[in-house]
Amino acid sequence: MEVTADKVKELRERTGIGMMECKSALAECGCDMDKAVELLRKKGYARAEAKSGRAAKEGLVGSYIHMNGRIGVLVELNCESDFVARNDEFQELVKELGLQIAAAKPRWIASSDVPADIVAKEKEIIQAQLGDMKKPPEILDKIVQGKLGKFFEEVCLLDQPYIRDDKVKVRDLITKLVAKMGENIKVGRFARFEIGQD
């Protein structure tokens, strides 16, 4: 099947990745749009991983106020250059992260930020819930890890399902923009305030 300009354009709009890479992915996947998206996500993710070690000292602090001023969020999103920080898509991502934090109430940015004692306590609770389940230890360990993953999805911003599309994780939104902008982008910190809550 021929790789048409319309197909390339559609794939670019869906992924935010460069024209030549979209054309190449479509050719490699026989013009199957879904397979091309998957291929580009894999490649984009690999590129994003390569950029994750680079210093991100620019960026923006964004705010979001919700429910007649009852909930407020401050979020710092970092990037490598002022040029990217001024980009509309970067600024839109800052707003979306503020909305996500207001709605989904994460406590930490990533699972690696959760204190070890809290992870240990959560494992203890999960194991108590499993009780005397008669399963081999390796199966029980997989169940514990699965439930721990669900815990991280609730309390860690990057692991949370995106509130506008629960098939997408917040981490994927950032990775997509990293692939498009060619710079490391990361959440520096956030604070969520709610009237009457500690």
Examine domains 5-51 and 58-109+156-194 and report if their fold is the same: no
pLDDT single digits (tens) 141-154 = 888 888 999 999 99
Q: What is the pLDDT of residue 53?
A: 58
Q: What is the pLDDT of residue 129?
A: 82
pLDDT beneath 50: ranges in the chain: none
58-109+156-194 CATH fold: Tetrahydropterin Synthase; Chain A (3.30.479)
Domain ranges of the chain: 5-51, 58-109+156-194, 115-154
Q: What is the pLDDT of residue 132?
A: 73
Q: What is the pLDDT of residue 159?
A: 95
Q: What is the pLDDT of residue 114?
A: 93
109 contacts: CB under 8 Å, gap ≥ 6: 156, 157, 158, 187, 189, 190
pLDDT single digits (tens) 119-168 = 999 988 888 887 777 777 788 888 888 899 999 999 999 999 999 999 99
Distance, CA of 118 to CA of 91 (rounded, Å): 33
CB 26 within 8 A of CB 36: yes
CA angle 4, 6, 9 (to 5 degrees): 115
CATH fourth-level superfamily of 5-51: Ubiquitin-associated (UBA) domain (1.10.8.10)
